[in-house]
Chains A and B, each alone.
Chain A
Amino acid sequence: MLETRHLSRSVGQRLLVNDISMQVATGEILAVVGPSGAGKSSFLRLLNRLDEPTAGLVLLKATDYRSIAPQELRRRIGMVMQTAFLFPGTISANIAFGPRQRGEIMAPTQIATLLERVGLSGFADRDVGNLSGGEAQRVALARTLANAPEVLLLDEPTSALDEASVRGVEELVLGIVQERRMACVIVTHNREQAVRLADRTMIMEAGRLVAIGATREVLHAD
């Protein structure tokens, strides 16, 4: 589904992502773990083309992603950031944002179904200013899912949440990836979270991929 070949990005003299090749299949969750500054988030941003690779390729269903219009690419490769960054207004307006960019109007029932799936039934008309961190992150996930992406990128989606909220979001991600048969790449600094969620794990250090394989094997060997 999603593949990188010798993917690199440098800023000035600094090599943020260095020669990374990997694949993620449909229905699979790949965790990216590593210490702070290892280049995990920089790698994820390249997958969404929020930043431009300075070398290498990203292939979506075997197509070089540079041949896909950025707006269409980002609809197909959805990304949830570490902070929810909800837009001012109601939750339903946030969820309808993506489809509206393509001129599609989401029916209230579609929004309600999506909110129900992320455990926020009846929240449609609430203002985003009154949400807890966990609720905001669920809205951000629902907002991304409204675009019906084929790949889901998650950048430390639970790093700012309490333990109960973390488990709730994790269960939600597991369920949704299975239901929708998406490929998922999750960046996390939490190895236990990688064990709970990911089929495979890749370890990054100083921008390089140092290990990739079945989660328990890779983390145990490390």
Chain B
Amino acid sequence: MLTELEGGIGNDVLMGLAQAVGAIVLCAAVVALCRWHAVRVEREAAVSMARGLVQMVLVGMVLAVLLHGSLLIGTLILLMMTIAAAFTAARRLQQMEGALLLCFWAIAAGAGTVIAAMLATRSLRADIAILVPVGSMIIANAMNACAQAAERFRAEILAHVGQIEAGLTLGAEPAATVVPYFQSAVYASLLPRLDMLKSLGLVWIPGVMAGMMVSGASPVYAAIYQFVVVAMILAASGITGLVATILIRSRVFTSAAQLAFRPNETSTSRAALRQAHPVQ
């Protein structure tokens, strides 16, 4: 195991670190340019770059050790990634109780279904060296879809409290009063992935394809496989966006069909209301 780790550290790692320094210098120049225009992102950019570099080095080291691990280890790594993704996405729903679990189930449903389908159809080999990188791409995109759906749905509800309550006063079912906002949220979660699919090969050649070509695969096969991966990302995002929006919808109304998610309601009052009338 130690030999594998040592094997991952060599001249190429030093060269990679030198390249990382180059990238950081360029980013720092951009941050300075932003500051020149009174856009203050120094702290956030520094933290993000430091976190990104440290996290990726750690992932590289872990992968170096686990490269020849079993499917179970690969699955555990993907599960940990899903939990981390749920924490990130749940930040968009700070006012909502149970947001972390909601995001976890949405991301797990989207990414899990698609990864399982890819394994079943042999589009993805149960080899940890492939499963983890491709799985992580799918989970990351599912996380973004979850966050985008949650953010849009929350914003639409808060912006249309009057219309939603007008529908309720006319005897509508809660779900019927948020149909346009539901559609908007799911679409918002899909749009970046649809654009990604449209621009595939024209605007960008993703990393998986580049990696396959570097390691000697046929460019045509690499291109087709890249399409499969991006299409699966779209599918995972769609499932995640739908599940997230359905779960949020079930939490914004009480069992007495009252809108519990309102800008002027304090979290204390919502908790009291929820205690008296559990959600549907």
Contacts and interface: CB of A to CB of B under 8 A. Distances in A.
B166 A147 contact: no
A40 interface: no
B163 interface: yes
Nearest to A65: B256
Contact of A49 (B162, B256, B269): B256
A144 B166 CA distance: 10
B254 A101 contact: no
A78 B167 CA distance: 11
Interface in B155-191: 162-163, 165-173, 176
Nearest to A49: B256
A101 B172 contact: yes
Contact of B168 (A50, A52, A66): A50
B257 interface: yes
A87 B171 contact: no
Given A11-B265, A11-B269, A52-B273, A81 B172 contact: no
A12 B269 contact: yes
B266 interface: yes
A35 to B, nearest CB: 19
A72 B173 CA distance: 10
Contacts of A70: 168, 256-258
A7 B256 CA distance: 17
In the complex, which of the residues B163, B256, B268 has the most CB atoms of chain A within 10 Å of its own CB atom?
B256
A48 interface: yes
A97 B172 CA distance: 8
Interface in A57-94: 66, 70-72, 74-75, 78-79, 81, 83, 85-87
A143 interface: yes
Lowest 5 CB-CB distances: which A-B pairs, in order?
Answer: A85-B166, A70-B257, A75-B171, A98-B170, A11-B269
Given A50-B168, A50-B169, A85 B162 contact: yes
Given A52-B277, A70-B256, A101-B173, A12 B167 contact: no
A51 interface: yes
A74 B169 contact: yes
Interface string B135-170: 000000000000000000000000000110111111
Contacts of B266: 11-12
Contacts of B173: 71, 101
B56 interface: no
Contacts of B168: 50, 70, 74
B14 interface: no
A147 B254 CA distance: 23
Contacts of B166: 81, 85-87, 140
Interface residues of A, number: 29
A159 to B, nearest CB: 14
A6 interface: no
A12 B172 CA distance: 28
B276 interface: yes
A194 to B, nearest CB: 23
B255 to A, nearest CB: 9
B257 A52 contact: no
Contacts of A74: 168-171
Contacts of A126: none
B163 A87 contact: yes
B269 A97 contact: no
26 contacts: A11-B265, A12-B268, A12-B269, A48-B169, A49-B256, A49-B258, A50-B168, A52-B254, A52-B256, A52-B273, A54-B272, A66-B256, A70-B168, A74-B168, A74-B169, A75-B170, A79-B169, A81-B166, A81-B169, A85-B163, A85-B165, A87-B163, A97-B170, A101-B171, A144-B169, A147-B171
A52 B268 CA distance: 14
Interface in B221-280: 254, 256-259, 265-266, 268-269, 272-273, 276-277
A144 B170 CA distance: 7
A167 interface: no
B258 A52 contact: yes
Given A12-B266, A12-B268, A78 B169 contact: yes
A71 B257 contact: yes
Given A52-B273, A52-B276, A81-B162, A143 B256 contact: no
A2 to B, nearest CB: 15
Contacts of B167: 87, 97
A58 to B, nearest CB: 12
Contact of A50 (B258, B269, B276): B258
Given A11-B269, A51-B258, A85-B162, A72 B171 contact: yes
